[in-house]
Amino acid sequence: MPKEGHRIRLVFIINGVDYLVEVNVEAPLAVAVERALVESHNTGRPPDEWEVRNSAGVLLEKGRTIEDLGLKNGARLFLSLRVGAGGTRAWLTLK
């Protein structure tokens, strides 16, 4: 199979905006996540603080390959900060 046949396009939805990423199906999902974060200019938080879910809401393992996850060309994936990874923390002061 030609090398081009090993590449697919994934659509990452980050904060309601679509970002198209082309990736090799043999690469870990983490590679595509890093590209999507760079493309979207969301580089303030490390990639390990982000989680990926498919359109059914199933959490995907970023260490698995695109092929092993069964992702198809044009798959829409939702990328968001893990709970507790973003935002501010409210501290209580006891008197």
pLDDT in tens, 63-91: 999 999 999 999 999 999 988 655 444 43
pLDDT in tens, 6-35: 999 999 999 999 999 999 999 999 999 999
Q: What is the sign of the dihedral through the CA atoms of 63, 20, 45 and 87? A: negative
- Predicted confidence at residue 92, as pLDDT, reads 44
**Residue 93 pLDDT more than 50?**
no
- Predicted confidence at residue 32, as pLDDT, reads 97
